[in-house]
Homo-oligomer: A and B are copies of this chain.
Amino acid sequence: MEKYYFTYEDIHRTARDIAERVVSSGFEPDVIVAIGSGGFIPARILRTFLGKPILAVGIAYYDADDKPSELPRKVQWVEEAEKKLAGKRILLVDEVDDSRTTLEYCVRELLRHRPAEIAVAVLHDKRKEKRGAIPPEVKRYIAGRTIEDRWVCYPWDALDIDGHVAAAAASSDAGGGEGR
């Protein structure tokens, strides 16, 4: 099955599109919350266009004994001392909405801080049956692109970045690279 290959420049343009849609939707975030580690790079690019600080949260699907687990576990969360999310508008960012379980978990945990609003932004939403659900408190869900349920090769995972760029170009020529 064909994979998606996105270059950093593709990702940058998708993040810019998302930022424009966030702004035009009337949502002005106070803070960007990046879900690590996949959300770090899109969040950092969104920061350029939205000008807001980033808080990072880390989620893992293994337990304290390094055994795989079904449920997410907090590796890092918002600091006790900085739990100033009450009344704030949060833009929660991840790279891909796959099964949706991570997003649901993070939204639910953030809602406990009683923010004014949470919006969700992902670079890519996979068209598939989701195991998680975005809680109804979330009024804005922005996916840069909706893609098919295929493997996604992100540039930051490339061991050979030149090979990755070449694969993205070949894939784009074949109509698959940009995921449109």
Contact = CB atoms under 8 A, between A and B. Distances in A.
A162 B9 contact: yes
Interface residues of A, number: 40
Interface in A127-170: 155-159, 161-162, 165
Copies in the complex: 2
A54 B77 CA distance: 12
Interface in A33-82: 34, 36-37, 40-41, 43-45, 47-49, 53-56, 58, 60, 74-82
Interface of A: 7-9, 12-13, 16, 34, 36-37, 40-41, 43-45, 47-49, 53-56, 58, 60, 74-82, 155-159, 161-162, 165
